[in-house]
Amino acid sequence: MSKQNLYLIFIVLVLFGVGCSSHPPVLPQVPVKGETNTGFSFSVENVIPVIWWRHGLNKYTDIGLKIGMPVSGTGIDINRVLKKRDRRWEVLNLGYSISPNSSFDLTYYMFKGGLRDGKVNPFNIGWTGFRVMIVPDGSYENPGPGNDQSIRFGPLFGRRFGARWGIELGYFHDFRAGFEDNEDFPHKDGKWATQFSKSTGISMQLFMYLGPTNRKK
């Protein structure tokens, strides 16, 4: 990925960053028991990079930890491989992230590996998925008949471009709040987006992969 493309992605992340929630980073590989991977993620909700680790518990399960600065972006999640066949595998992820609109995520991923010159390329991997996102108590205290909770659902897709870089895009909509501002579920509190806003459902993450910090002996 060229430097110009990285700069463009960073500018987009900053412009769309207001009001969003945080989500787990994606390491597109099946778990390896005893192996710990690390990296950084740049996202719409955290202009300051978030550092993350993933540790393989066995060949089906790994756990993830991420730490944001000072706190926003910090979270924990767990992956479970449900199905694997050749260069395709499916994963269920459960995570919790701290942000202005802290949320629980339940995500179903479908990964597919690619080829280069007829050979398996371990870094050319794409994925799609669906996410249920629950903001139990958002940043805006709703005085109307609706409560402070936002429940969202929507698609996502991503790709790893090489050994170091990957990206994920998604949108998760609150169907109770609709697409227009309303009294029951206001999309803005003054100039700031609430947990009901469309912008809160935008997910854009850029991943930097640093590789394993240790391997199973």
The domain that holds 35 is classified in CATH as 2.40.160
Residue 217 lies in a domain: no
Residue 216 lies in a domain: no
Checking if the pLDDT of 3 tops 70, the result is no
Residue 140 lies in a domain: yes
pLDDT, tens digit (0-9, with 9 covering 90-100), for 111-148: 998 765 555 566 789 999 999 999 887 777 766 655 77
The tally of domains found in the chain comes to 1
Instruction: Look up the domain containing 90 and give its range.
Output: 3-211
Checking if the pLDDT of 215 tops 80, the result is no
Burial (CB < 10 A; 0-12, 13-18, 19+), residue 85, is exposed
The reported pLDDT for the residue numbered 129 is 97
In 3-state terms the chain splits into helix, strand, coil percentages (rounded to 5) of: 10, 55, 40
- 155 or 140: which leads in pLDDT: 155
Residue 161 lies in a domain: yes
Residue 118 lies in a domain: yes
Residue 117 lies in a domain: yes
Least confident of 87-101, 174-188, 198-212: 174-188
At 14, the pLDDT band (50, 70, 90 cuts) reads very low
Q: Rounded to whole angstroms, how far apart are CA atoms 139 and 136?
A: 10
Residue 56 lies in a domain: yes
For the entire predicted model, the pTM comes to 0.83
